[in-house]
Amino acid sequence: MDQFKNIGVIGRMGSAKVVESLRELKRYLISNDYHVIIEEETATMLPGHSLQVASKKLLGEICDLVIVVGGDGSLLGAARELAKSKIPLLGVNRGRLGFLTDIGPAELEEKLGKVLAGDYIEETRFLLDGFVERNGQPLGFGTALNDVVLHPGKSTRMIGFDLFIDGHFVYSQRSDGLIVATPTGSTAYSLSAGGPIMHPKLDAIALVPMFPHTLSSRPIVVDGKSEIKLVVGETNETYPQISFDGQMNISCAPGDIIRITKKPFKIRLIHPTDHNFYATCRDKLGWASEITAG
C-alpha cells in the first residue's frame, strides 16, 4: 500500500509558473493512480480540473501528504494552517529563494517519483505562538514558522520595550523593534538584521534587535523552551505592531504584554534524499563552493 495515497495540493495564487507546475503535478499524480485533492482557492487556477476540492483545514484531515507549489511564503502559510494535523509537507519551488521549497520545476517528476516511492528525508520544524495582552485581557494571537516581530509599523520612531526571558528581566531597549526567530526563520528576515544562521535541528530561539539605539545590543540565542515576554514601554508615542511571518499584524499600545512560546505542534517537512542544509546555504546565500587555488 502506498504511504502517500491521498495527496493534497496547494498553489500560490496569481502566478502563471505555478499554474504550469500544478498542471504537470496533476497529470503526473493522476497517471500514477494517486488520489489528488486540490485546495479550494488553488482550484480556481485550474478550471475544469475535475478533482476533489477541500479547504486547507480539511486537507489536513484527509491527506497523507500535502504538496505546496510556490515559494517559501506559500509553504509558511500552509505550515501555519496545517501544524495541528501533523501532515507532512513537500515544497515545489516556483518562488525566489526556496530554503523550504527545494524541488525545482525541471526535476519535479524525477524527485517527486522518488519521494512517493519512499526515498526521502523527513524533518520536523517548530513554530512559535504569540499572545498579546492588554490590561490582563487577551487581545490577539498568532502563529509563525519563521518569526514573530515587534516593529513600528508605518511610524519611523523607535520603540521602547522591556525584554524578559523565563520571567527574568534581560534589558530595556530602544530600537526599531525585535525579531524573535526560529531556526527556520534564521535564514529569513532575521538574517538581514544581522541575526545568526541556526541549523534547523537546533532547539533554540534567536532574539535579534532591529537597529538598536546602543551598539552593545547584540542578538541573543536562547533555549527553544523559553518563554519570551515583551512589555511595550508606557512612554511610547507610537503604537507598534506585532507580526507573524510578516503576514498578520496586531496593533499594540503602551503597556501591552507580548508572550512568545514554542507551539506544541511541529510541522513535518519532506525533502528529496539529496537535500542538504549547507548546500542550500551555499546556493541561496552565495557562499563559496570550493577553496580557490592560490
Q: Which three-class secondary structure string do you get for the chain?
A: CCCCCEEEEEECCCCHHHHHHHHHHHHHHHHCCCEEEEEHHHHCCCCCCCCEEECHHHHHHHCCEEEEEECHHHHHHHHHHHHHHCCEEEEEECCCCCCCCCECHHHHHHHHHHHHCCCEEEEEEEEEEEEEEECCEEEEEEEECCEEEEECCCCCCCEEEEEEECCEEEEEEEECEEEEECCHHHHCHHHHCCCCCCCCCCCEEEEEEECCCCCCCCCEEEECCCCEEEEECCCCCCCCEEEECCCEEEECCCCCEEEEEEEEEEEEEEEECCCCHHHHHHHHHCCCCCCCCC
Residues 140 and 257 in one domain: yes
Domain tally for the chain?
Answer: 2
Residues 92 and 170 in one domain: no
Q: Does a structural domain hold residue 105? A: yes
Catalytic-labelled residue, pool 2, 33, 72, 162: 72
CATH code where residue 184 lies? 2.60.200.30
Average pLDDT over residues 153-177: 92
Which pLDDT tens digit goes with each residue over 245-269?
Answer: 998 899 999 999 999 999 999 999 9
Average pLDDT over residues 214-234: 93
Residue percentage of the chain with pLDDT more than 90: 82
Identify the pLDDT of residue 168: 98
Which pLDDT tens digit goes with each residue over 19-44?
Answer: 999 999 999 999 999 999 999 999 99
Q: Is pLDDT of 1 > 50?
A: no
Active site annotation includes 72: yes
Q: Does a structural domain hold residue 291? A: no
Q: Does a structural domain hold residue 180? A: yes
Residues 98 and 26 in one domain: yes
Task: State pTM to two decimals.
Answer: 0.93
Q: Is pLDDT of 2 > 70?
A: no
Residues 95 and 137 in one domain: no
Q: Does a structural domain hold residue 139? A: yes
Q: Does a structural domain hold residue 275? A: no
Average pLDDT over residues 229-251: 92
Mean pLDDT of the chain: 93
**Domain of residue 35, residue span:** 6-118
